[in-house]
Structure 1
Amino acid sequence: MSTEFTLGAGGYTAVVTARAAALRVLQFEGRDLIVPFPEGGPIPDYRGIIAAPWPNRIADGRYSFDDVDHQLPVNERERATALHGLAFPLDWVLKESDAGSLTLTCTVGPSAGYPFTLELLARFALDDAGLHTSVTARNTGSETAPYGVCPHPYLVAGSSPLDQWVLDLAADSFLEVTPDRLLPLGLQSVEGHAFDFRQARALGSTEIDHAFTGLAFDGGLARLAVRDPAGTGVGMSWDESCPWLQIHTADKPAPIPSRIGLAVEPMTCPPDAFNSGTDLIRLDPGAEHTVSWSIYAL
């Protein structure tokens, strides 16, 4: 089986890996639109993966669903959480492809802490308007399953430092989190806060690793743009299935390269939704859920 797949159309090139259905490369006319990672090695910082059947983290890996308690493996040990689902360690299987499109599939579960079975199908398609991705989850088991999903690209506006990039994000509120474990505390308005990017402005030194909501959907789509002062930029749009958006400025302690891209993750539910129940999808046996997003050059 091929370990990765290359697509091309409309001046765009995309490379998707079988492992995690991760977007390894996305370029427009040779310019990186995401932070890439090397071929054949591990996927650093979950770059480009499909995070399912939950996005972000679950506190202590524990949750209760329909009055049954579950314990997931804790893979983010420094914060004692279960992070980014169960699909990312898996090798997805090619279902169909051509020069400009690709469909991969995998089966999640049943496994420790998630005694449910989902078939996931990810479709990637390139055209003149960019890369369009959709993920469909189908419950192939006999019990209703909790579900959430998000992509995990790190966008690149251009060659200038991230602090100089200008972010345009129409979001009214953000989820305040604990500083040590990044677990939800409550919603806060962006009004008067460093996280208010409703009027486009430079990121500056602001450190962000938070979920935003109160998103503006125009014609069924929410949009984010990040621009380099040199004139290049990258945009992302997503449908109303994702009322949440995680933003992360990729801050790292020295000597690790820091702030090399802006993680932009449209989410169907907020962090720790398996416990809060907020916007958590209940996927009945035989039912399907589809979400879609696009990334494009500006």
Structure 2
Amino acid sequence: MPGTDVHLAHGPYSAVVTRRAGALRELRHGNRDLVVGFAPEGNIPDYRGVICAPWPNRLADGTYAYAGKPYAATVNEPERGAALHGLAIHQPWEVLEEAADRAVLGCRIPAGPEYPGELDLTVTYSLSGDGLRGTVRAVNTGSAAAPYGVCPHPYLVAGPSPLDDWSLELPADAYLEVTPDRLLPVGMRQVGGGAFDFRSPRRLGDVKIDHAFTDISRDGHGLARVRVLDPSGTGVELEWGAEWPWVQVHTGDKPVGPDRLGLAVEPMTCPPDALHSGTDLVHLQPGASHSAEWTIRALTPQAG
């Protein structure tokens, strides 16, 4: 449709954001891709760059109860019996503001059989010399309290080499073990010395990751950073604040077709299946709001 995409630019950075799921469709530094992109039309593969709300990741069986009332969301991952990545991906989004280096997109999540609250959701994308900053904000405009969680869903690209040759720095002490068939939470595990211990940078190799990590090391401003580096020296960094206590990391493995094209790094306000566990779930009262920010920046051989 006309006006689906918004093109942004600032210095060496350029981006394309889209009304389709409020997603980041492209991000480049010079001629280098920093994320795995997708075509201007058709379905968005692998939920690349979308905004996942009002829950991230999987909701087992698509059913839950809140404030004593049952709700049922559409199971859009039938092979695992899950409602995946929330409701905002199914809503119509609009471009609310547009400038050369900044755009604001928004959608409304209605109250109904899938969800108790009515949310106005906006995502602001802005480019600067420091990279791309995203800010997602939810306001409960309904009359009932609502459970809430959110994450962005970019797949980072470190450089031209295969993902197996990239090195990863992930400053997390613990991860959430999941079932092998449905990828639903089992319990917390420490990374220490195991396959998922990337607290010091090391090569990814053939490890397969699709897990939520927590107990994350942060700087004095509450910021955490994941870095992915290519052997050539190029790389990409994703930085997020204390409002995101979790981060999902996925090596993009697929049973059919091209896989391991990029590394999904998804700051999350809550872990998978939080509508059942209640872990770190935000409870938005009528009129209340929640905001969270993240930044993606290029790393160059000189700076990185």
Q: Distance in 1 between matches of 2:172 and 2:60?
A: 25
Q: Give, in whole Å, the separation in 1 of the partners of 2:179 and 2:138.
A: 31
Whether 1:250 and 2:241 are equivalent positions in the alignment is: no
Taking the TM superposition and a 5 Å limit, the aligned residue runs for 1:13-162 are 13-162=14-163
Of the three residues 239, 247, 254, the one matched with 1:237 is 239
- For 1:13, give the aligned amino acid: S
Q: Matched residues in 2 for 1:30 and 1:91: separation?
A: 31
| TM-score for the superposition, normalised by structure 1 | 0.98
CA distance in structure 1 between the aligned counterparts of 2:105 and 2:160, rounded to whole angstroms: 32
TM-superposed deviation, 1:112: 3.0
Q: Deviations over 1:221-268 (max 9, x none)?
A: 1100000001110000011110000000001124x0011100010000
Distance, in Å, in 2 between the alignment partners of 1:288 and 1:116 is: 12
Distance 1:13 1:207 in 2: 31
Q: Output the TM-score relative to the length of structure 2.
A: 0.96
Q: Which whole-Å CA distance do the structure 2 matches of 1:136 and 1:20 have between them? A: 15
Counterpart amino acid of 1:234?
V
Cα distance, 1:105 vs structure 2:
1.0
The unaligned stretches of length 5 or more in structure 1 are: none
| Residues 247, 267 of structure 2: 8 Å contact kept | yes
CA distance in 1, matches of 2:37, 2:112: 30
RMSD: 0.9
Q: Secondary structure at the match of 2:276?
A: helix
Q: Deviations over 1:82-120 (max 9, x none)?
A: 100011122311111110000111101224321320000
Give 1:216 shift: 1.0
Q: Tell me the number of residue pairs that the alignment of Structure 1 and Structure 2 aligns.
A: 297
Structure 2 equivalent of residue 193 of structure 1: 194
Q: Find runs of 4+ consecutive structure 1 residues off by over 6 angstroms.
A: none
Which residue identity does 1:221 align to in structure 2? L
Q: Secondary structure at the match of 2:253?
A: coil
Contact 2:125/2:135, CA 8 A, preserved across alignment: yes
Aligned to 2:169: 168
2:302 maps to none
Q: Could you list the per-position Cα deviations for residues 255-282 of structure 1 after superposition, in whole angstroms to 9, with x for gaps in the alignment?
A: x001110001000000000000000000
The answer to whether the Cα contact below 8 Å between 2:121 and 2:136 also exists between their aligned partners in 1 is yes
Amino acid at match of 2:35: I
2:62 partner amino acid: G
State how far apart, in whole Å, the 2-side matches of 1:231 and 1:237 are. 19
* Residue 206 of structure 2 is aligned to residue 205 of structure 1: yes
The CA distance in 2 between the partners of 1:214 and 1:263, in whole Å, is: 19
Deviations 1:101-150 (A, max 9, x none): 00111101224321320000110000000000000100000000000000
Q: Is the 8 A contact 1:73 1:112 kept in 2?
A: no
